[in-house]
Structure 1
Amino acid sequence: MATGNITSAIDSLSAAIHCNIIPQHEYLLQGSILDSQVEHLLHRLKGLCDNVDAGPEPFHDHEVCFSLRAPNQATPTLLLRVRKANDVDAPYQLRYIGQQEVGDRTRPTLVRNSLDIACTSTVVEYLQELGCRIDFEYTNRGYMFRKGRMKITVSKIFKMGGIPTKPGETYTEAISQSYLVELSVLAPTGQDGIGKDMMMFAEQLKPLVQLEKIDYKRLGNIP
């Protein structure tokens, strides 16, 4: 794709993502727990979260992560994710995740812009035609809990690739012997009090899991 076309695609896609959409911030805490301890965490979450009788909501997603770079720029201008549910019939989800805000370091959670848009299965082809590059893909399988407006997920991440062992089977391999635990809230701009509520809930999960504000810039990468 020509340089001018890439720049135009970035501007058009940025405008499409942000046009007429109420700004949303994602407040996020993350941690991990060993496979051997995850059942204890699930049991505690069942007691703490809403809909105790119904139990947690299982999910099994396939996620493809794209980046779009402007000419002569090493860092991506846009980071986008396309998510497809493998266990239910649901629309594809296109997700934009902004970089974490640099504001007050005393904030208890990571804060970043986040937008989710339902779309059709042609979104992958569309993004590639715009010049987006697939950085990586993975499957994510686990459980989701709700506590008010807080969402808690406990999931196992599997990398894709390699040679399937059976005909028609998709090869996946767990990336670690632990589960990713995420506590998040999506809310309009200016509701920083949410972070205190999240920290209070996170305290109830100790010592099983330590949910923290992860500084991705210090890690040298962006999720």
Structure 2
Amino acid sequence: MDPSLHQALKTGIAPLHEYFLQGSILDASKEYLIHRLRGLCDHADSQPEQFNDHEMVFMLSGQQQAPFTVHLRHSLLAPECWHLRYVGVAEMGDKTRQTLVRTCLDVGVSETIIKFLNEMGFRMEYEFVARGIFFHKGIMKVTVTKMFKMNQVNDTKSLEPVSASHLVEVSVVASTSQEQIGEDMKNFAEQLKPLVLLEKVDHRKLQPVTSQTNT
């Protein structure tokens, strides 16, 4: 789990804006991207930090309201680290906006959160394991993630790759709307071409790639 996020969770809970761009790169080309990122990002002389997280997506369905979804992420490298996140619908915005923007809410929790969510009426829709590395460039966070689907519920050892590629994401979390952030992110994304094309992805057209359901 990102240590900067883990530290931020200790300071309290506040709704924030997340600016982000996404893309993908084939596994065979990942090392070329890592080399480029090490040259562009901070602390180029140190090894990039790794993460190995188990993520569970819970949904609360109401009779008269749209389903409410939260993401619970558990670090497999640091078992004491649990992170609950709510993200709003990504806004495509006008064509001049450089990134997607969504509201997000992060809070540090303990493992008992699963029992609490179940008692609240939440149902786990799917789960997966995300492994990868992340870099920082100023306030920007860059992650290169390999996604794995789980062959059995809550079994983080029996895994199968979702695809032959890695998800690449550049994101910034800010307390207020700051359109200049989008411009900085777009300029950074230009430096990663042609290895990876980072762009605004319309999530309304996507379906979850994992379908392991708690039955």
Number of aligned residues: 197
Contact preservation (8 Å) 1:25, 1:111: yes
Q: Name the counterpart of 1:23.
A: 15
**Residue aligned with 1:126, SS:** helix
CA distance in 2, matches of 1:200, 1:45: 14
**Which entry has the higher C-alpha Rg, 1 or 2?**
1
Give 1:162 deviation, angstroms.
4.7
> What RMSD over aligned residues (CA atoms) do the two structures have, in Å?
2.1
* 1:43-82 equivalences in 2 (<5 Å): 43-73=35-65, 75-76=66-67, 78-82=68-72
Q: Name the counterpart of 1:116.
A: 106
CA distance in 2, matches of 1:105, 1:115: 26
**Residue aligned with 2:199, SS:** coil
Give 1:85 deviation, angstroms.
0.4
**Residue aligned with 2:132, SS:** strand
Contact preservation (8 Å) 1:216, 1:222: no
Amino acid at match of 2:22: Q
Q: Name the counterpart of 2:32.
A: 40
Say yes or no: does 1:150 pair with 2:150.
no
CA distance in 2, matches of 1:169, 1:196: 38
Query: Which stretch shows the higher mean deviation, 95-104 or 63-72?
Result: 95-104
Amino acid at match of 1:107: R
CA distance in 1, matches of 2:156, 2:56: 19
CA distance in 2, matches of 1:121, 1:213: 34
Q: What residue ranges of structure 1 are gaps of 5+ in the alignment?
A: 1-19
**Residue aligned with 1:208, SS:** coil
Say yes or no: does 1:172 pair with 2:159.
yes
Say yes or no: does 1:130 pair with 2:117.
no
**Residue aligned with 1:183, SS:** strand
Q: What residue ranges of structure 2 are gaps of 5+ in the alignment?
A: 1-11, 210-215
Residues 107-151 of structure 1 show CA distances to partners (whole Å, capped at 9, x for unaligned) of: 111100011100110011111110111110000001000000000
**Residue aligned with 1:141, SS:** strand
Q: Name the counterpart of 2:86.
A: 96
Contact preservation (8 Å) 1:62, 1:84: yes
Residues 179-199 of structure 1 show CA distances to partners (whole Å, capped at 9, x for unaligned) of: 000000000122111000000
Counterpart pick for 2:188 among 201, 204, 207 = 201
TM-score, normalised relative to structure 1: 0.83
TM-score, normalised relative to structure 2: 0.85
